[in-house]
Amino acid sequence: MYSSVCSGALNGMSAYIADVEVDTTRGLPGFDMVGKLSGEVKEARERVRVALKNCDMDVPPLKITVNISPADISKSGTAFDLPIAVGIMVSTGRIPADRCKDMMLIGELGLMGDIRAVSGVLPMVIKARDSGIGSCMVPQDNAMEAAYVNGIRIIAVRTLSDAVAALLNEEILNELVFRRDGSAVKECREEKRYDYADMIGQEACIRAATVAAAGFHHMLIFGPPGAGKTMIAKRLPSIMQPLNEAESLEVSTIYSISGLLDKERPYITQRPFLSPHHTATASSLAGGGAYSRPGIMSLSHKGILFMDEFPEFDRECIEVLREPLEDKRIQISRARSTLTYPADFMLVAASNPCPCGHYPDRNLCNCSDRMIARYRSRISAPIKDRIDIIVSASRVEADRLIGDSEDKRSKKRRSTSSAELAVKVSRALNIQRERFRGMEFAYNSEIPSGSIEKYCRLGKTETEYMKNVYDAMELTARSYHKILKVARTIADIDEKEVIGIEHLGEAISYRGDI
């Protein structure tokens, strides 16, 4: 007998509806699976057979053929276990066919019939809802994640026996319907945050970080070891605006595909912060592999990609940043397929100023000029061109760190809190949102060079000032544009319509002449 149940599968960032067709006939007993399936999908055969047996639902000695359509897209993952098992039950007549109608089934089976979490549930459930499917049966551990999709009934199951029971009995099914709990969303928002108030010194870097966050500018921090470059970067999400609903869904989808969502708090509301080690490979950053997965650059979508010891990364890793920095997405082309993942992140790179880390303090640094130039040349010009803000961090001196409480300086020891800075950032971002309404870009850092004149207009005095600076500092056209964009952001923080000399002066100090 023939049966068909509905399941979901992933192709890059998007999910599609996959129909699991099962046919059982008399003949030589066997179990065949077709539909361009990868290894782990084919192994479902053994998992399903044993799980059914252990749930007292023996597979009869029949010839079983499973086809997962559309049969021309390669499929991976273990989400087909549950639909295959249910499909067999339907085609052998133990579950009425109409009970599975209008329902998507997702889940991996253990040998004892337990149903385990799979990745990519979020986009699959969204797809199901959008295709007009009324309910979706998911593993209990994925229920929270699935429940964020409104307008579809989520049935959470723990074991295959539960699943079968629910499909046979409407009452049991109703008991298993998972209801979204309001408090869960709130809980997700209250994760532990780092705060700039924890920092001592580095006021200039914190200010630069504020400007960077306010205009989504990429940033490069130079400084000796132990200067607090990482601390500055780690606190950036604390001053950025929280993800909005759409962004949150997008980021959660990426994490869902990668199987990285927490089962208790499966919704990403904070801006991601990723700091790959400098031994990372280019494909771990970009994503890909035989069955493509999002890379670190996509996991930092809408958040921060922090690359410490930037020049120590492989050249290939640094160059692979080019496309996402330009297009805000990464395209992975393999022999079998081409996939596109979003990768709209803010790059924060940190570097020593020279191989030993102490330049320009010649008392500590004995690196030759040539060594320094070679070290810095590992950050290639096209990457430097995309980085608007360059600052240097210095090691905090002992008296400041330990500081006598009676010292009047101690009042100034602590930095401004993240909450205060977040207000400034938010203000600037709201202005930009208004300004760029209906445009294809959202931040000052993304203003195309053709529109710089329009958005970063300078008055007469300011133009004169910039002319002087342009000559005195021997700026290039590109660095001139960078300065204007950063000045625009600083003016937005000040809620000024017109860019003033004070804004330009500060922006120029971030130009980083390296």
The site for another protein (CB under 8 A) is made up of: 201-205, 207, 222-223, 353, 360-370, 390-394, 397, 400, 408-409, 412, 468-469, 472-473, 490, 501-502, 505-506, 508-514
Helix (H, G, I), strand (E, B) or coil at 209: helix
Q: Between 201 and 303, whose beta carbon lies closer to another protein?
A: 201
Cβ atoms of 210 and 381 within 8 Å: the answer is: no
Q: Between 370 and 454, whose beta carbon lies closer to another protein?
A: 370
State the nearest-atom distance from the C-beta of 275 to another protein, in Å: 22
Q: Between 47 and 229, whose beta carbon lies closer to another protein?
A: 229
Helix or strand (DSSP H, E) at 15: strand 14-25
| Maximal C-alpha separation, the chain | 92
State the nearest-atom distance from the C-beta of 14 to another protein, in Å: 44
State the nearest-atom distance from the C-beta of 465 to another protein, in Å: 9
Q: Rounded CA gap, 329 and 343, in Å?
A: 4
- For residue 356, the cross-strand partners are none
State the nearest-atom distance from the C-beta of 238 to another protein, in Å: 19
Q: Rounded CA gap, 87 and 5, in Å?
A: 6
Q: CA angle, corner 391, sides to 324 and 277, nearest 5?
A: 50
User: To the nearest 10°, the Cα dihedral for 324, 325, 328, 333?
Assistant: -20
Q: Between 324 and 353, whose beta carbon lies closer to another protein?
A: 353
State the nearest-atom distance from the C-beta of 508 to another protein, in Å: 4
State the nearest-atom distance from the C-beta of 72 to another protein, in Å: 55
- For residue 153, the cross-strand partners are 135
Helix or strand (DSSP H, E) at 64: strand 63-69
User: To the nearest 10°, the Cα dihedral for 358, 363, 369, 375?
Assistant: -20
State the nearest-atom distance from the C-beta of 223 to another protein, in Å: 8
State the nearest-atom distance from the C-beta of 362 to another protein, in Å: 4
Helix (H, G, I), strand (E, B) or coil at 40: helix
State the nearest-atom distance from the C-beta of 366 to another protein, in Å: 5
Q: Between 202 and 284, whose beta carbon lies closer to another protein?
A: 202
Side chain identity, residue 134: G
Q: Rounded CA gap, 167 and 174, in Å?
A: 10
Q: Between 73 and 473, whose beta carbon lies closer to another protein?
A: 473
Helix (H, G, I), strand (E, B) or coil at 359: coil
Cβ atoms of 95 and 114 within 8 Å: the answer is: no
Q: Which residue's entry shows tokens 């210095």? A: 394
Q: Between 338 and 468, whose beta carbon lies closer to another protein?
A: 468
Q: Between 394 and 426, whose beta carbon lies closer to another protein?
A: 394
- The strand pair at 329-333 and 338-342 is best described as antiparallel
Q: Between 364 and 498, whose beta carbon lies closer to another protein?
A: 364
Q: Between 210 and 256, whose beta carbon lies closer to another protein?
A: 210
State the nearest-atom distance from the C-beta of 226 to another protein, in Å: 14
DSSP 185: H
State the nearest-atom distance from the C-beta of 402 to another protein, in Å: 14
Closest CA to 66 of 38, 42, 96: 42
Q: Between 110 and 500, whose beta carbon lies closer to another protein?
A: 500
Determine phi and psi for 19, rounding to 5 degrees. Answer: -95, 130
Q: Between 207 and 234, whose beta carbon lies closer to another protein?
A: 207
Q: Does residue 276 have a cis bond before it (omega within 30 degrees)?
A: no
Q: Between 34 and 364, whose beta carbon lies closer to another protein?
A: 364
Distant-in-sequence contacts of 415-418, Cβ < 8 A, 24+ apart: 415/196, 415/197, 415/199, 415/200, 415/201, 415/202, 415/203, 415/206, 416/196, 416/197, 416/206, 417/195, 417/196, 417/197, 418/193, 418/194, 418/195, 418/196, 418/197, 418/235, 418/238, 418/239
State the nearest-atom distance from the C-beta of 136 to another protein, in Å: 53
Query: Read out DSSP for 82-136?
Result: HHHHHHHHHHTTSS-GGGGTTEEE--EE-TTSBEE--S-HHHHHHHHHHTT--EE
State the nearest-atom distance from the C-beta of 77 to another protein, in Å: 48
